[in-house]
Amino acid sequence: MTQLEPLVSLICQQMGIDEEDIRLRKSYLGLTSEEEVLLRQVHDDLGRFRERFLDELYEGFLAFPPTAALLRDEAQIQRLKAGQARYFDDLTCGEYGPDYVRHRLRVGVAHHRTGLESKWYLAAYSQYLIALLRHLGEVYEGDESGYLRLAAALIKVVFLDIGLAMDAYFHAGRMNEAALKAYSESLVDNAPCGMVVLSSELRVLFANPSARRLLQLCDEVQGLTLESLFPGEEIRDLALSAQEDGHASYNIFLPFAGGETRNLQLTFTRLPLIKDGSGRPLSTGRLLLTLEDFTSLWRARTEVSRISNYDELTGLPNRKLFLELASHALARARGKPGRLAVLFLDLNRFKNINDTLGHEAGDLLLRELALRLRHILRNNDIVSHFGADHFTILLQGIYDRQDCMHAVQKIMSLFATPFRIGEREVFLSANIGISFFPDDASEPQELLKYADAALHQCKNEGRGGYCCFREGMDQGAKRALSLETELRRALEQRQFCLYYQPIVGLKDNQVLSFEALLRWYKPDGEIVPPLQFLPMLEETGLIREAGDWILEEACTMARQWEVTGGVAPAVSVNVSSLQLSDSRFARRVFHILSTCDLPPEKLELELTESMLVEQSGVTVENLETLAEMGVRLAIDDFGIGYSSLGYLNRFPLHTLKIDRSFIQDICEAGQSAAVARTIVTLGQALQLRVVAEGVETYAQLQMLKAWGCTAVQGYLLSRPVDRRHVKALLERDWNAACAPAVPLASG
């Protein structure tokens, strides 16, 4: 019962049941204080037949199915009877104050809760009253006027009771309905989707808070037209079709003041006909419009598509989007007059810029170039950043090659203005390869492949500028692909071997060193010279693996070389820049020397000038470690590259090797001879060993010896030989070999 207390208080408050109200109720019933006294007087008399009275009452309840259904078991009946007994006592106690009133209200609410219908409730009252009057008749036998006075008082009290109990009974019902209504309204108010009810004339009848927020409306929405919410005919037509078909939905982008755009999913649903109590239709053609906010989803999707389709650095379409856009463009152009051109643009020396000025500078440059390209090209031309320093461009609406050349010239002219990186100005240049649709190919991938082939042609010719694809240009690319595959297999199947060529000292005609030179023995017996496959080994990075093997093989061989009565020769191994820029290189060399048990000074590494000039941190570290270890360092092909000789002092070098091209014409007293002679002098000044490569004649040897050159290497003394023939060279009499075959004429 305790949970009922707050409810009873609420009912009192809401229905205004207070002392005054009770006074009024009593006054209209005509219940006087004399009658209250009268009732108190018969209290004891009535109490005597209380038990019998209650038994009869409950027999009646149990005999009637609708009330019997509410009585579950004997325990409940006993409980209810006890309650009734109290009531019975209260009824004639003559105290009808606030406690009595609250009790009556409580009983009304409780009966509402048990589900007792009002008709049975009232009938029970009637039975109760009649039974009471019958028993009263027994008490007042013979005193008719006394009986009537008391009966009137009793009837009034019972009706006071009925009034209170039924008021509470019905009010509890209304409160339930109100709670349900509030609940359903709160569902609509708190629904995350917007809900708008529209009249058949498509005017707003109601909009929930979410709808007002999504559409940025104020609270006063009644009467607004659908067009004022969604300008244009489209949404209106959609609503009309929903009135016909029951349902229609649509996804729109709605712009708002301040530049914000929302993506909304609109769904119109025709509402069922609403009728009044008598079944008359209240409204027809009403629509419920629900609004779902897809803005975040749409933004997320847009972002995903941006990331997967655009290059982050330049903001240009990436390779994937370029191919997609190009294939659409080709589809549109198919069968129509005119051409499309695919341009493949590659920057020259971009790697240098990255290496010398840093990657940030490189990024700035690419961004600036992207802007320039976008600026000079037409809107329907597609410019993409293909990766690294590659850009691809699709020119649309071209009638002949001349049109295309016009655009290419414009692109080339972009490079006439230097690029600014902070304080610096950098000049860039580019090569462009071009292919045409439909002349060369009709698929984007193929057009790109041909433009790329043309680009390579352009670079090979070394003239810079641009080049259009011609039949046969892609042969090189095809060959390159198969070469790479073959080289990988060669490495796996150990098809490489080393040849050795002696370097002979001119002072005492002793072999100072053997240069290890790589050969590729193909399974078909062909011996491939290194210049045909080295570039590919480097390009693919396979040189790292191959380089390790070369070092191991060369050091293992050198360990076995012995010369009776002389010093064992060293081995000279060519090293590529990729190896030297690997941070683990010096450690690898150390490891190989240890496992082969070869003293470090028996290994000379041949490096090229460019490797020393374009020095990165890793290269320098490797060189310093190698020098500390005691490994000898030689500069190969000296003289052909750089004029800066600063690095000669910076690194602990041992040998300069004069490039073969200077030796060839050494006897002709021309420029080559002058260079060769200068190198010899330079070597002497720096106390370096100077080796002349490619010595083919005795005259060349004589000349070099006269200048004071330390050592020679060349076909004159020996061609590079297979490892099995090194032993013979070790045992050879080099004095004889260095002597003239036919004595030179004196003078």
Binding site for Ca ion (CB under 5 A): 574, 606, 636-637, 693
Count of CB atoms situated within 10 Å of the CB of 725: 14
Instruction: Report how far apart, in Å, the C-alpha atoms of 480 and of each of 53, 451, 459, 495, 577 are.
Output: 116, 16, 15, 19, 21
Judged by phi (left if over 0) then psi (alpha if -120 to 50, else beta), residue 427 lies in beta
The window from 159-167, 299-307, 614-622, 708-716 that contacts ligand C2E (CB under 6 A) reads 708-716
Binding mask 602-631 for ligand C2E (x = CB under 6 A): ----x-------------------------
| Closer CB to Ca ion, 452 or 636, in the complex | 636
Spatial contact of 569 and 512, defined as CB atoms under 8 Å apart: yes
- Using CB under 6 A as the binding criterion, the count of chain residues that bind ligand C2E stands at 24
530 interacts with, out of Ca ion, ligand C2E, none, CB within 5 to 8 A per kind = ligand C2E
- CB 670 → ligand C2E: shortest distance, Å? 19
Spatial contact of 557 and 723, defined as CB atoms under 8 Å apart: yes
Binding to ligand C2E (CB under 6 A) within 478-507 occurs at 501
Question: Binding of ligand C2E at residue 534 (CB under 6 A)?
Answer: yes
Question: Binding of ligand C2E at residue 672 (CB under 6 A)?
Answer: no
| Closer CB to ligand C2E, 527 or 563, in the complex | 527
Q: 250 has which bridge partners?
A: 266
Dihedrals phi, psi of 23, to nearest 5 degrees: -60, -45
Question: Binding of ligand C2E at residue 550 (CB under 6 A)?
Answer: yes
Question: Binding of ligand C2E at residue 637 (CB under 6 A)?
Answer: yes
The window from 210-218, 417-425, 558-566, 713-721 that contacts ligand C2E (CB under 6 A) reads 713-721
For the CA atoms of the chain, what is the radius of gyration? 54
What letter represents residue 588's amino acid?
R
593 interacts with, out of ligand C2E, Ca ion, none, CB within 5 to 8 A per kind = none
Of 735, 669, 729, 655, whose CA–CA distance to 700 is shortest?
669
What letter represents residue 707's amino acid?
W
Per-residue buried b or exposed e for 353-376, using 16+ beta carbons within 10 Å of the residue's own CB: bbeebeeebbebbbbbbbebbeee
Question: Binding of ligand C2E at residue 636 (CB under 6 A)?
Answer: yes
| Calpha distance 91→445 (Å, rounded) | 102
Do strands 655-658 and 424-426 pair parallel, antiparallel, or not at all (unpaired)? Answer: unpaired
Q: 690 has which bridge partners?
A: 656
Question: Binding of ligand C2E at residue 666 (CB under 6 A)?
Answer: no
Question: Binding of ligand C2E at residue 368 (CB under 6 A)?
Answer: no
Tokens for 548?
């390790």
Q: Applying CB under 6 A, which of residues 715, 735, 740, 744 lies at the interface with ligand C2E?
A: 715
| Closer CB to Ca ion, 84 or 678, in the complex | 678
- CB 672 → Ca ion: shortest distance, Å? 15
Tokens for 409?
């010239």
What letter represents residue 389's amino acid?
D
Question: Binding of ligand C2E at residue 529 (CB under 6 A)?
Answer: yes
Question: Binding of ligand C2E at residue 599 (CB under 6 A)?
Answer: no
Spatial contact of 676 and 700, defined as CB atoms under 8 Å apart: no
576 interacts with, out of ligand C2E, Ca ion, none, CB within 5 to 8 A per kind = ligand C2E
688 interacts with, out of Ca ion, ligand C2E, none, CB within 5 to 8 A per kind = none
The window from 159-167, 463-471, 556-564, 709-717 that contacts ligand C2E (CB under 6 A) reads 709-717
Binding to ligand C2E (CB under 6 A) within 682-701 occurs at 693-696
Instruction: Report how far apart, in Å, the C-alpha atoms of 578 and of each of 544, 608, 615, 628 are.
Output: 7, 12, 12, 21
Strand locations in 106-158 (E):
none
| Calpha distance 316→51 (Å, rounded) | 98
Instruction: Report how far apart, in Å, the C-alpha atoms of 394 and of each of 47, 212, 365, 434, 524 are.
Output: 109, 47, 21, 10, 45
The window from 91-99, 351-359, 430-438, 711-719 that contacts ligand C2E (CB under 6 A) reads 711-719
- CB 550 → ligand C2E: shortest distance, Å? 5
| Closer CB to ligand C2E, 11 or 607, in the complex | 607
Count of CB atoms situated within 10 Å of the CB of 700: 22
At which residue do the structure tokens 């972002």 appear?
303
Binding to ligand C2E (CB under 6 A) within 555-584 occurs at 574-576
- CB 719 → ligand C2E: shortest distance, Å? 7
Tokens for 253?
């982008």
Dihedrals phi, psi of 657, to nearest 5 degrees: -110, 115
Question: Binding of ligand C2E at residue 530 (CB under 6 A)?
Answer: yes
- CB 648 → ligand C2E: shortest distance, Å? 19
| Closer CB to ligand C2E, 254 or 716, in the complex | 716
- CB 384 → ligand C2E: shortest distance, Å? 36
Binding mask 717-746 for ligand C2E (x = CB under 6 A): ---x--------------------------
- CB 608 → Ca ion: shortest distance, Å? 8
714 interacts with, out of ligand C2E, Ca ion, none, CB within 5 to 8 A per kind = ligand C2E
Give residue 69's Cα distance to chain centre.
67
Residues near ligand C2E (CB under 6 A) are 501, 516-518, 529-531, 534, 550, 574-576, 606, 636-637, 660, 693-696, 713-715, 720
